[in-house]
Amino acid sequence: MSRGASRELDALRSLHQVFTAIHSGQDLAEVLQRAAQGVVDALGFQVAVIDFVDPYGYVEALAVAGDEDACRALKGRRVSLDELQDEFAVAEDWGLLKFVPHDRLPEGAEYSWAPDYEPLEDPEAWHPLDALIALLQGPTGEMLGMLSVDLPVDGRRPNHLTRQVLEMFAVQAGLAIYHAQERERLQERVRLAAATRRIVETASQELDLDRVLEACFEPLVDGFHADRVVIRVFDVDVEGPHGERLATEGATYPPGILGHLPALLAGERGETSRARGARMLDLGERVAWACWPARRSVVVGELGDTTSGLLDEAERGAVLEMVHGLGASSMLLVPLGAGPEVLGTVALFRADASSGWSEAENEAALEVGRELGRVVHRTRLYQRERQLVTELQELDHYKVEMIGTITHELKNPLTSISGHVELLEDEGVAPTSVGAIGRNVRRLQRLVGDLLLLNSVQDPQRPFAPSPLDLGALVEEVGDLLAIQASRRQVTLDTSGVGQAIRILGERDDVLRLLTNVIGNGIKYTPQGGVVRVAARAVDGRAEFTCQDTGIGIAEHDLSTLFDEFDRGSNPAAHAQPGTGLGLAIVRRIVERHGGTVEVESSLGSGSTFRVTLPMPDGQEAAAPDVTQGHSFRIG
Ligand code: ADP
């Protein structure tokens, strides 16, 4: 057999081996290495390189065979595809092969490796700067890689036969890359589908949001090959990051770091970094709202960055710094939403700088965001429903208690009245019984009157129709009415502190009732010889009315329930006076209805001060008045 024929046989054998390797599904790098070696061994080139085109437009040398220097120089080399396009543009087209003669090489071309030797004196001689590249393509012609050869052993440009065999190697190497990528894509799809399914399954079985979030970490870390996962759920009811439910899983921060995300995002470097962390959260929220309507994700990183149009350069730089601070090289962020609403974000971080986020990963992450959005929406509805049920139950409980107390309050005087009536029937008219009947009837009248009033002031159906009123005049009116009661009890009622022309916005009957109850209590709970001082003035755009007495005072522990229905406190001196325990409950409802405030400041044995503020017709909100003495309690 001639030398040429044996070389061709070697080439065919080597080609056959490459075929076999491809179809037996061996490791891609190994298959390509074999192909490169085959080219060197069988086709008489001293250097063969197989490059692979990555999704980000770079070619990287995966397999290098032949000359040791060349192997060292070329292995792992990464060049942008754009640069190569310049070389292809000037190449001679040899079918799948591109031949770039040294004299056409674009200026500054970096790609070719230039061995140091003198070319032959021959028009067909191979020049050290010549380049011969075979494109590796997929079934539909997409460029997957390239096979380049250099340094033909005979020092000449390859003949027709060598080119044809080289093309065959290229076709096989192209198929090998294509199949390997397909295999990888398939594995990735299976992996992502499994992760998404696990999340959907947990989400459909679990009602507790925290438990759903916790169960997401493992599938997200495994399925998406993420090194850290941060799930953030915005809380619509609470402002600021502290009200949010945050969960993260990663190498440094275990789950359970809830509420510390600003510090985490800032890399925990003090107060200013915290502010930066909070800024990151704001940015994340803004980006999520921008992404949600388009159902898109965003990648921040050196590879495959998609922030353009969403973040400006400075913002992108800051986010990237945060990503690096977390020990990652890139972040994939998807909105977590339901309907038109964005409810949070899912951020996946990856440390490996050479692997970006694939389209399949982007889509699967979006699906996870939608699924978690549904869960958050559902748990919110569930929580709202439960809250409503609790409120209704409380209301029910209140009604039952109220009816119980009212019945009790009505029963005592009625029992007493009926007892005395029986006595009257048996023994004729007895003055003590008449007195008791009269007392109890008055008590019943007071009680029924107060109940009716309470019912009316807390009736949500009753429209609120305020009008401008003169507070000073109303206080004077009530003062006149209560003057007899005060003088009977030998208590001085001093209204000299009532200013002129203090306008309020309110309902006349309600305000009169409020003033009567507060001033009336002052007189009732002040022993003989005491003073009740009433004042009214305008403070910071609001009308303020105060009633200060020198009476029995109120114990600190009674203050917080003072405005509850039927509460009469614990002081026996107060119980000695007639009362229903409804007067201040009525005051409280009236104040609430008017958008005012009421506060009491008192200490046992040394008198009390009640201070009520009400809105003025064009008044502004005023700061709450300062409480300076004794103990106090405030409503509104
Ligand atoms: P009532 O006066 O009918 O008992 P209120 O609701 O008006 O009911 O008042 C509730 C309780 O608050 C009173 O029973 C009393 O113990 C206490 N209280 C109200 N005003 C004063 C006051 N000016 N001084 C001392 N105690 C008071």
pLDDT tens column, 158-195? 988 889 889 988 988 888 889 888 888 889 999 999 99
Q: What is the mean pLDDT of residues 140-154?
A: 89
CA of 404 relative to ligand 1 center, distance in Å? 22
Residues of the chain with CATH 1.10.287.130: 389-457
**Where in the chain is CATH 3.30.450.40?**
3-184, 206-384
| Domain boundaries 206-384, corresponding CATH code | 3.30.450.40
pLDDT attached to residue 245: 46
615 lines ligand 1 (CB under 6 A): no
Average the pLDDT over each of 272-286, 309-323, 334-348 and give the range with the smallest value.
272-286
Identify which of 575, 563, 562, 533 has the alpha carbon closest to the alpha carbon of residue 550. Answer: 533
How is residue 389 written in tokens?
A: 């049920």
The pLDDT of 514-543, averaged and rounded, is 95
Q: Would you state the pLDDT for residue 621?
A: 45
Indicate the residue type of 210: D
Q: Which amino acid is at 62?
A: L
554 in ligand 1 pocket by Cβ < 6 Å?
yes
CB distance 522 to ligand 1 below 6 Å: yes
Query: 528: closest CA among 562, 573, 570, 559?
Result: 573
Nearest to 37 by CA among 6, 7, 64, 10: 64
Q: Per-residue DSSP letters for 492-559?
A: EEEEEEE-S--EEEE-HHHHHHHHHHHHHHHHHTS-TT-EEEEEEEEETTEEEEEEEE-SS---HHHH
Asked if the model's pLDDT at residue 506 lies above 70, the reply is yes
Q: How far apart are CA 510 and CA 601, in angstroms?
A: 23
Position 513 confidence tier, pLDDT thresholds 50, 70, 90:
very high
Helices 160-205 and 3-23 pack at an angle, to 10 degrees, of 10
Q: How confident is the model at residue 129, as a pLDDT?
A: 83
Report the SS3 class of residue 429: coil
516 pocket-lining for ligand 1 (C-beta < 6 Å): no
531-539/492-498 β-pairing: parallel
Q: Give the DSSP H/E element, type plus range, for residue 612.
A: strand 608-615
Average pLDDT over residues 238-265: 42
For residue 258, what pLDDT is reported? 37
Average pLDDT over residues 614-618: 89
Q: Does ligand 1 have an atom closer than 6 angstroms to the CB of 630?
A: no
Q: What pairing do the DSSP bridges indicate for beta strands 143-152 and 298-301?
A: unpaired
Q: CB–CB of 525/574 below 8 Å?
A: yes
Distance 582 CA to ligand 1 centre (A): 9
Return the structure tokens found at 266: 């800032």
Tokens 């004077």 found at: 476
DSSP 351: -
**Ligand 1 atom nearest 552 alpha carbon:** 25
For domain 3-184, is the CATH number 3.90.1150.150? no
| Ligand 1 touching residue 608 (CB < 6 A) | yes
562 ligand 1 Cβ < 6 A: yes
Mean pLDDT of 349-358: 87
The pair of three-digit structure tokens given for residue 212, joined into one six-digit string:
């759903």
User: What phi and psi values does residue 597 have, to the nearest 5 degrees?
Assistant: -135, 155
Q: Give the residue, out of 491, 554, 561, with the most ligand 1 atoms within 8 A of its beta carbon, to mutate for a pocket test.
A: 554
The CA 578 to ligand 1 mean position distance, Å, reads 10
Count CA atoms within 13 Å of residue 472 on its CB side: 10
- pLDDT beyond 70 at 266: no
Q: What's the 531 CA to ligand 1 centre distance in angstroms?
A: 16
| Phi and psi torsions of 248, nearest 5° | -145, 150
pLDDT bracket for residue 261 (50, 70, 90): low
Distance of CA 610 from the midpoint of ligand 1 (Å):
11
132 CB-contact burial (10 Å; exposed 0-12 / middle 13-18 / buried 19+):
buried
Residue minimizing CA distance to atom 14 of ligand 1:
568
CA of 587 relative to ligand 1 center, distance in Å: 11
Both tokens of 479, joined, read 């003062």
pLDDT at 272: 57
Q: Which residue has the higher pLDDT, 77 or 7?
A: 77
User: Is the model's pLDDT at 448 over the cut of 90?
Assistant: no
482 ligand 1 Cβ < 6 A: no
Pairing of β 341-350 and β 228-233: antiparallel
Which of 272 and 313 is assigned the larger pLDDT? 313
Instruction: Tell me if 566 CB under 6 Å of ligand 1.
Output: no
d(CA 627, CA 598): 12
Residue nearest atom 7 of ligand 1, based on CA coordinates: 583
The count of other CB atoms within 10 Å of the CB of residue 230 is 25
Q: What mean pLDDT is predicted for residues 238-260? A: 39
- pTM over the 0.85 mark: no
* Six token digits for residue 384: 């709202």
Ligand 1 center to 470 CA (angstroms)? 26
CA of 450 to the centre of ligand 1 (A): 14
Whose CA is closest to 226, among 305, 331, 150?
331
In this predicted structure, what is the pLDDT of residue 147? 93
The pLDDT of residue 215: 83
**Percent over 90 (pLDDT), the chain:** 36
581 lines ligand 1 (CB under 6 A): yes
Whether the pLDDT of residue 34 is over 80: the answer is yes
Pocket test for ligand 1, best of 549, 568, 590, 603 (most atoms within 8 A of CB): 568
- Give the least confident one: 254-258, 313-317, 446-450, 468-472: 254-258
Say what the pLDDT of residue 425 is: 66
End-to-end alpha-carbon separation of the chain, Å? 108
Mean pLDDT of 134-159: 89
Regarding predicted confidence, which is higher, 212 or 515? 515
Asked if residue 569 has its Cβ within 6 Å of ligand 1, the reply is yes
On the question of pLDDT at 460 being above 90, the answer is: no
Tens of pLDDT, residues 72-127: 888 878 888 888 888 888 888 888 899 988 877 766 655 556 667 777 777 788 88
Give the Cα separation of 53 and 59 in Å (integer).
Answer: 4
Q: Which atom of ligand 1 is nearest to the CA of 522?
A: 23
Res. 260: pLDDT tops 60: no
The closest residue, in CA terms, to atom 23 on ligand 1 is 522
Confidence at residue 25, expressed as pLDDT on a 0 to 100 scale:
65
For CATH 3.30.565.10, list the domain ranges present in the chain. Answer: 467-635
pLDDT tens figures, 380-410: 888 888 889 889 888 877 877 777 777 777 7
Q: What is the mean pLDDT of residues 196-202?
A: 90
pLDDT at residue 244 tops 50: no
How far CA 267 is from CA of 99, 110, 180, 240, 255, in Å, comes to 53, 40, 39, 19, 17
Average pLDDT, the chain: 83
| Rg value, the chain, Cα | 44
The confidence score (pLDDT) of residue 111 equals: 52
Which CATH number applies to 389-457?
Answer: 1.10.287.130
pLDDT exceeds cutoff 80 at 274: no
- Looking at residues 349-369, what average pLDDT do you find? 90
Mutation test residue for ligand 1: of 521, 566, 598, the one with most atoms within 8 Å of CB? 521
- The answer to whether residue 436 scores a pLDDT higher than 80 is no
Query: Quick one: fold of 467-635?
Result: Heat Shock Protein 90 (3.30.565)
Least confident stretch, 81-85, 199-203, 434-438, 450-454: 434-438
Q: Is the CB of 521 under 6 A from ligand 1?
A: yes
- Whether 570 shows a pLDDT value over 50: the answer reads yes
Q: Which amino acid is at 519?
A: I
